[in-house]
Amino acid sequence: MSKKTDSNLYTLLFAVGMVIVVGTVLAFFASFLKPNIDENKRLEKQQNILYAMGIHENEEGTVALISTDKVAAEFSKYIVKQLVIEGDKVTANDNAYLIDIKKEQTRAKEGKVRKLPLFLGKKDGKIYYIVPVRGKGLWDAIWAYVSMDENMTVQGIFLDHKGETPGLGANIKQRFFMDDFIGENLLNAANEFEGITVAKGNNDPKNLEKTDNEVDAIAGATITGDGVSAMIKSELSAYASYFIDLKKN
């Protein structure tokens, strides 16, 4: 008892038709909702930048970004200047925080000059220099917003990831890990750029030593940790010359 729906041609045509219909429906939804999604992502960036400079709603042990209804106002209040560094040229640009780091990294790989965004925040009379960075974890992208003072001492960091292992690599966005970075210096004793290494066995689990360029690693998250080290080293070194110039002047 062969039905017409069993023939190969029918099956093939059905599959093709289904793909066309489904593709159209999804494309419609994606483009229809895109403005909303983009707006949410924009606010999230602002939240993350503010978190790095210590403006958040953290309670004991938790990570809580500032709420979305307040973020736009707080962002314009605390972020006093947004700069774009392009080679030797530094220009002010109020939408520098919208620069796509991933695209700029590709540009750099192609041998072009990449745009480096830098945000200047001011809180209680103190200037924070906030830099977005992006790198690779174990499974997917990891990224961070690092705020520093003019000596490249870390004042705060917000780390996030796309798909690290829950309970292991995903813990980079927990307070205990992010808070370890505060006070660490990105320069070494000779005032050269060294970065911060996520180190195993540095005998400093409480992270009391702030001048060793090391924070304590998360057990079971070696590759994610190495990814964080590599990200900080390669991305922030691009900014080192800016900070050296800053000191000279």
Partner 1 sequence: MGLFKDSKLITDPLADNNPITIQVLGICSALAITAELEASIVMSVAVLFVLGVGNVVISLMRNIIPSKIRIIVQLVVVATLVIIVDLVLKAFAYELSKTLSVFVGLIITNCIIMGRFEAFALANGAWRSFLDGLGNAAGYGLILVIVGFFRELLGSGTLLGIKVLGDPIEKTGAYAYGYENNGFMLLAPMALITLGIIIWIQRSRNNALIED
Task: Name the E strands within the chain.
Answer: 79-86, 89-92, 115-123, 126-136, 141-148, 154-161, 197-199, 214-216
Minimum CB separation from partner 1 for residue 73, in Å? 18
Q: Using DSSP bridges, classify how beta strands 214-216 and 154-161 pair: parallel, antiparallel or unpaired.
A: unpaired
Q: Considering the rule CB under 8 A, would residue 27 count as an interface residue with partner 1? A: no
What is the identity of the amino acid at 145?
Answer: Y
List the one residue from 16, 20, 25, 246 that touches partner 1 (CB under 8 A).
25
Residues 202 to 221 in contact with partner 1, rule: CB under 8 A = none
Q: Considering the rule CB under 8 A, would residue 69 count as an interface residue with partner 1? A: no
Q: Using DSSP bridges, classify how beta strands 79-86 and 126-136 pair: parallel, antiparallel or unpaired.
A: unpaired
List the one residue from 18, 80, 90, 113 that touches partner 1 (CB under 8 A).
18
- Specify the residue, 16 or 92, whose C-beta has the smaller distance to partner 1: 16
DSSP-assigned states of every residue in 205-241: TT----SSSEEEPPTT-HHHHHHHHHHHHHHHHHHHH
- Specify the residue, 27 or 73, whose C-beta has the smaller distance to partner 1: 27
Minimum CB separation from partner 1 for residue 218, in Å? 18
Neighbour-count burial for 188-216, b at 16+ CB within 10 Å, e otherwise: eeeeebbbbbbbeebeeeebeebebbbbb
For 148, list phi and psi in degrees, rounded to 5. Answer: -130, 160
- Specify the residue, 47 or 185, whose C-beta has the smaller distance to partner 1: 47
Minimum CB separation from partner 1 for residue 2, in Å? 11
CA triplet 206, 157, 175: central angle to 5 degrees? 50
Between the alpha carbon of residue 17 and those of residues 4, 23, 30, 44, the distances in Å are 17, 10, 20, 39
In this structure, are residues 232 and 154 in contact, taking their beta carbons and an 8 Å threshold? no
Q: Considering the rule CB under 8 A, would residue 176 count as an interface residue with partner 1? A: no
List the one residue from 20, 57, 68, 205 that touches partner 1 (CB under 8 A).
68
Q: Considering the rule CB under 8 A, would residue 30 count as an interface residue with partner 1? A: yes
Minimum CB separation from partner 1 for residue 231, in Å? 20
Q: Using DSSP bridges, classify how beta strands 214-216 and 197-199 pair: parallel, antiparallel or unpaired.
A: parallel
- Specify the residue, 30 or 189, whose C-beta has the smaller distance to partner 1: 30
- Specify the residue, 59 or 110, whose C-beta has the smaller distance to partner 1: 59
Q: Considering the rule CB under 8 A, would residue 113 count as an interface residue with partner 1? A: no
For 143, list phi and psi in degrees, rounded to 5. Answer: -150, 170
- Specify the residue, 6 or 192, whose C-beta has the smaller distance to partner 1: 6
Q: Considering the rule CB under 8 A, would residue 37 count as an interface residue with partner 1? A: yes
Residues that bind partner 1 (CB under 8 A): 3, 5-6, 10-11, 14-15, 18-19, 22, 25-26, 29-30, 33, 36-37, 40, 43-44, 59-60, 68, 163
